[in-house]
Homo-oligomer: A and B are copies of this chain.
Amino acid sequence: MDSKQKFKRSIENRKHICIGLDSDIKKIPFFLLNSEDPLFEFNKIIIDSTIDYAGAYKLNFAFYENEGLKGLNSLKKTIEYIGDNSFIIGDAKRGDIGNTSAMYASALFDHFKVDASTLHPYMGFDSISPFLNYSEKINFILALTSNPGANDFEKLKLTNGDYLYKFVIKKVIEWNRSENCGIVFGATQLSELIDSIDLIKKVPVLLPGVGAQGGDLQEIVSIFKQHSINNFLINSSRGIIYKDSSKNFGKAAKDELTKLNTTVLTVFSI
């Protein structure tokens, strides 16, 4: 099953929750620190507990790069452990000039073998296009992010009448000839989500920011439901993986995921 089919299967089964494996050596349960590869052991238990209910897994590369080569080895092992049957997002937020972006694209898709990337739009089309050459993958391009800094540049008004983030979305739609573009849109940005919904519905959307960052799951899902849109994944990281710090953290993560899944199903069934 290719990456796009996996994405499609997740959303058709109403599995809209993506688990962010932001696994941090300083935050994982203490008893794991004696194992040979604590980050991988932590991920393994989270994956074992959630794989039947998760729409996707998102691996933010920062948390693994932070541990150097050892961490990147944990990252690779984790991706292999999740396996071919789940949709895996390599959240690396890359972007460079063309010949260099081609290297990043190959690192993500050929070496780490993820199904999807996240990308910075700032440097424009030739920084994105090497990723788009992987026609079977999905590339989520940052449009409006969930953090306070989104106000600094993303929400600036352009002389053509658009906000920068909205113009980025329009460009992404233009670039979507192989139907392998998506956008990142912060779950904390409700009014902007409503305002841009007619554009947003044209591409897959990854929404981070639910949970620790304050985004409200029910409200987000309601907006998509009202507009008959289902091509979205909502990411929760800390809210799921650090729900419990005892030996039961796997079950606690599963319970939290089930709760979020129920919220999604409830909104869609109303």
Contact of A153 among B73, B96, B167 (CB under 8 A): B167
**Residue from B120, B125, B147, B149 within 8 A of A93 (CB atoms):** B120
* C-alpha spacing A95/B121, complex, angstroms: 12
A:59-106 near B, CB below 8 Å = 60, 62-63, 65-69, 72-73, 76, 93-98, 100-101, 103-104, 106
Q: How many residues of A contact B (CB 8 A)?
A: 58
Query: Interface with B: A37-45, A157-165, A253-261, which one?
Result: A157-165
Contact (Cβ within 8 A) A147 B97: yes
From known contacts A22-B100, A122-B120, infer whether A171 and B152 are also in contact, taking CB-CB under 8 Å: yes
The answer to whether A142 has its CB under 8 Å from any CB of chain B is yes
Please judge, given known A-B contacts A60-B100, A62-B101, A158-B158, whether A145 and B123 are in contact too, CB under 8 Å: yes
A123, B154: Cβ atoms under 8 Å?
A: yes
Which chain B residues border A93 with CB–CB below 8 Å? 94-96, 120
With a cutoff of 8 Å between Cβ atoms, the chain B residues found around residue A146 in the complex are 97
**In the complex, residue of chain B having the shortest beta-carbon distance to the beta carbon of A145:** B123
CB within 8 Å for A147 and B167 given contacts A60-B100, A111-B66, A157-B159: no
A/B interface sample: 26 pairs, CB < 8 A: A62-B94, A62-B100, A62-B103, A65-B103, A67-B111, A68-B76, A93-B94, A93-B96, A93-B120, A120-B122, A122-B122, A123-B147, A123-B154, A124-B147, A124-B148, A124-B151, A125-B148, A125-B149, A126-B147, A127-B149, A128-B149, A153-B164, A156-B164, A157-B159, A158-B158, A164-B164
